Structure 1
Amino acid sequence: MSIKAWPFGERPREKLLTSGAQSLSDAELIAVLFGKGVKGKSAVELAHDMLNELGTLREVVTVSEERFTSLKGIGRCSYAQFQAAFEIFRRNLEIQLTRQDAFHNVDDTKQYLQAKLRDCEQEKFALLMLNSQHQLIAFRVMFTGTINSAAVYPRELIKQVMKDNAAAVILVHNHPSGIAEPSHADIRLTSEIKSAMGMIDVPVLDHFVVGDKETISFAQRGLLS
């Protein structure tokens, strides 16, 4: 049955406009992005098919274009719409960090870093460049490695910090294995980078490790001493 034949208050788009996006199910949110269905299937039915095939909203926005468009009735235009929606979400998180203290708003910082790095298949090492109020200047991916390691060179980090005129930095890297627990090598590297940054009087405020289900803060763990 076409969504147009549904009672007005049950149609996803109208439901969103009258009751807010939070009132919609995952399938209804996806249906709004689809805009319309295909012959023989409504947008909501297509959305249910997608969730049954891929699993959760996270998979919907992080799956490859090839996998996304392999689903019957779903093409590249829909893939582009979903990627645009997810990028809007990420950029909104980034804007928040440019307006608040990234060091003391740990939960917001973790959410931002998860959106940036959690689904990367390779390990990436990045810096959050901060001003004197600890607001975000820039997010810089400095090194990209294999599935389980990335070579990090403190001298290159210092060059970028000076180029961005950062007053402080937060380190971050992801573990593609999904396990966020810091390794001994992570702890040793953090100490080396702290010493290097100390030479230019730029403090390292924290080091986050992004895993699949959690993001760990060195500062909260007492691992920065």
Structure 2
Amino acid sequence: MLKSIDQITALRKDDPIVQSQERCCGNYGTAGHICIRHHAILTTLEKSVQTIKNEATEGPRPREKLLSSGPDNMTDAELLAILLRTGSQGENSLNLSRRLLNEFGSISALLNASYKDLHPFKGIGVAKWSQLKVIYELVQRSFLEKLQQQNVLSSTGLVKNYLISLIGHKEHEVFVCLYLDNHLRLISCHEIFRGSIDETTVHIREIAKECLLRNASYLIIAHNHPSGHLDPSEADLTLTHSLHKALQLIEIQLLDHCIVARHGAVSLMDLKIMPK
């Protein structure tokens, strides 16, 4: 196995395979010609040398950086490269990771990509796609586990991160409900309505029914803006006030309304515009 640039250089100069070109050249009639098979070997070796040089100039490799600095000091591409492990011929895992993130726009969108979406990328097969899906599912379950064990008001950042990973990447508008018990812990999360690219028809009666079925005491609602804009619209504010008023009749408190996009989320409670 070749372990360094020096070994590759030595092989190119001294290996009998390369020296045998003179014997092979006689078959082609000219001493200046190189045997096609041996030329291919040299081309592969040159690419290997260039790959090693490129990686050496990029600084510490992702695994080395993880050991020395920890995950908090790593870029998204570096973390993804560790997961992918390998790239393809002519492209290492780090460059492949950068290209994937640039193409899909966010980690959440990439983790939600279908095999059909990822298949065109050389170096991504069923095994790597499966790893990405498993990682996404484990992250979702980790969020849910934490929200089921603690008061959501003490972890509003966790709620936002969960919602971003859940619906922030979607290209159509969806409306979800987070049903909470009387200790403000998550009972369940439910996508209750789905709309077009820019609107969702929300039925207050259906939301109230689902709250009663789950014996919820509090409710957080959320929907995504595929456009990426996080400012609540007049329709968002009108819905919030109408739903708050309706739920009061059945002694359920609407705690918050979150607007979610690919790269972030806002909370009407944080903005101090939730009805009291």
Normalising by structure 1, report the TM-score: 0.84
Q: How many residues align?
A: 222
Q: 3-state DSSP class of the match of 2:247? A: helix
Partner of 1:193: 243
The 2-side partners of 1:48 and 1:196 are apart by 48
The 2-side partners of 1:221 and 1:38 are apart by 47
- Aligned counterpart in structure 1 of residue 189 of structure 2, from 139, 142, 149: 139
Q: 3-state DSSP class of the match of 1:113? A: helix
Q: 3-state DSSP class of the match of 2:123? A: coil
Normalising by structure 2, report the TM-score: 0.70
Equivalences for 1:150-165 in 2 at 5 Å?
Answer: 150-165=200-215
Partner of 2:5: none
Equivalences for 1:9-88 in 2 at 5 Å?
Answer: 12-13=62-63, 16=66, 20-22=70-72, 24-39=74-89, 41-51=91-101, 57-88=107-138
User: Can you give the 5+ residue segments of structure 2 that lack an aligned partner in the other structure?
Assistant: 1-47
The 1-side partners of 2:173 and 2:139 are apart by 22
Misfit runs of 4+, over 6 Å: none
The 2-side partners of 1:178 and 1:51 are apart by 17
The 2-side partners of 1:163 and 1:186 are apart by 25
Inter-CA distance 51–132: structure 2 relative to 1 (3 Å threshold): closer
Letter in 2 for 1:113: L
Deviations 1:183-212, CA, capped at 9 Å, x for gaps: 111111111111221121011111111134
Letter in 1 for 2:151: D
Q: 3-state DSSP class of the match of 2:250? A: coil
- Aligned counterpart in structure 1 of residue 139 of structure 2, from 89, 93, 102: 89
Letter in 1 for 2:111: V
The 2-side partners of 1:142 and 1:52 are apart by 31
Give yes or no for contact 2:108–2:165 (8 Å, CA) kept in 1: no
What percent of counterpart residues are identical? 33
The 1-side partners of 2:80 and 2:238 are apart by 44
Deviations 1:52-81, CA, capped at 9 Å, x for gaps: 655654553344433322112222321221
How much has 1:153 moved relative to structure 2? 0.8
The 1-side partners of 2:225 and 2:70 are apart by 36
Give yes or no for contact 2:164–2:263 (8 Å, CA) kept in 1: no
User: Does residue 212 of structure 2 align to residue 166 of structure 1?
Assistant: no
Q: 3-state DSSP class of the match of 1:97? A: helix
Inter-CA distance 221–131: structure 2 relative to 1 (3 Å threshold): same
